[in-house]
Amino acid sequence: MLRRNIRLRREYLYRKSLEGKERLLYEKKRKIKEALEEGKPIPTELRNEEAALRQEIDLEDNYTSIPKTHIDDEYANATVRDPKILLTTSRDPSAPLIQFVKELKFVFPNAERMNRGGQVISEIIESCRAHEFTDVILVHEHRGIPDGLIISHLPFGPTAYFGLLNVTRHEIKDKKAIGTMPEAYPHLILDNFKTKLGERTANILKHLFPVPKPDTKRIVTFANRSDYISFRHHIYEKPGGPKSVELKEIGPRFELRLYQVKLGTMEQSEAQIEWVIRPYMNTTKKRSFIGNEPEPDDKRKRNKA
């Protein structure tokens, strides 16, 4: 099993190393296609390669003409089988952290909770690979307050590191108003993930959830505002017919802030870092890395006027 995982990892890294060459070849073919369609002469730098490239173009179809990326390899099996998630914590968890992880177990369908004990991360990841888990979620805390969440996709990655803020559930309303958490597969709402990094983040989050049934009444929302991702969990009812909809929040509530994406699994310290927040990025108040920055109120008033 260990040799097989090493071989698969090497094959994945090799395919990733070819992406630059495939992208360059794709751009050359695109220029030749555009020149032929518009009746323009072939670009001078491509005339020596024109015959070979045109032969490849004739053999391609709509599926093979688009270059694939390592992201396609990471989630290649996502549409084949439902996600299977392992939830665990840092060592010696406090009572609030244990309670929060219990609630997350109901948030993510097909999730299993495991007491960390004395196990190290590499042992947990290897065991999850052997039992065909698709993701591992590790929750950290500081002085009894959950403050970090790591999502590691198996078997190759990526691994996303989030800061965790404002974790609440029972403070929303009284217990009778909250009710119990349903276990139906939820519909997903992913709001304002507009940039390349935003699409990458949304891809990581949405593959934690299986495809729901059309008539399910459970909704999970990830809404990005100024790079803070708000998580909300609702169910809806139609007491007066299809035109009357009542939302009921069942919690938990928390905010996520992405600070690193790594091209590998959690235990691979040598894995390449795809994106990381730097200290100088905290001063770029008008720049948003995940989605579009909302307009200030005074600017909106000027646009309306």
pLDDT tens, 111-123? Answer: 999 998 889 999 9
CA 6 to CA 129: how far, in whole Å?
12
Cβ of 33: how many Cβ atoms within 10 Å? Answer: 14
CA 28 to CA 52: how far, in whole Å?
11
Residue 95 lies inside a defined structural domain of this protein: yes
- With H, G, I as helix, E, B as strand and everything else as coil, classify residue 85: strand
Q: What is the pLDDT of residues 24-33, one digit of tens each?
A: 777 888 888 8
- With H, G, I as helix, E, B as strand and everything else as coil, classify residue 108: coil
Same domain, 160 and 244: yes
Q: How confident is the model at residue 133 (pLDDT cuts 50, 70, 90)?
A: very high
Q: Domain range spanning residue 186?
A: 85-286
Q: Is the pLDDT of residue 232 over 90?
A: yes
Same domain, 158 and 200: yes
pLDDT of residue 173: 53
Q: How confident is the model at residue 262 (pLDDT cuts 50, 70, 90)?
A: very high
CA 136 to CA 232: how far, in whole Å?
21
Same domain, 33 and 142: no
CA 132 to CA 93: how far, in whole Å?
26
Higher pLDDT, 279 or 92: 92
Q: Is the pLDDT of residue 107 over 80?
A: yes
Same domain, 95 and 1: no
User: Where does a domain end: 68, 95, 110?
Assistant: 68
Bridge partners of 16, per DSSP, are: none
Per the listing, tokens 């690979």 go with 129
Same domain, 105 and 230: yes
CA 10 to CA 162: how far, in whole Å?
27
Mean residue pLDDT of the chain comes to 83
Inter-residue contact 207 to 83 (CB < 8 Å):
yes
Number of domains the chain is built from: 2
Where b means 16+ CB within 10 Å and e means fewer, 190-211 reads bebbeeebbebbbbbbbbbbee
Same domain, 138 and 166: yes
Q: What are phi and psi of 170, to 5 degrees?
A: -75, -10
Specify the amino acid at residue 291. Answer: G
- The DSSP element (H or E) to which 301 belongs, if any, is helix 297-304
Q: How much is the pTM?
A: 0.77
CA 254 to CA 251: how far, in whole Å?
9
Residue 304 lies inside a defined structural domain of this protein: no
Same domain, 106 and 61: no
Q: What is the pLDDT of residues 162-211, one digit of tens each?
A: 999 998 865 555 555 565 678 899 999 999 999 989 999 999 999 999 99
pLDDT of residue 197: 92
Structure tokens at 34: 């555009």
Four-point Cα dihedral 248, 250, 254, 256, nearest 10 = -80
Q: What is the mean pLDDT of residues 226-248?
A: 87
pLDDT of residue 86: 96
Same domain, 192 and 269: yes
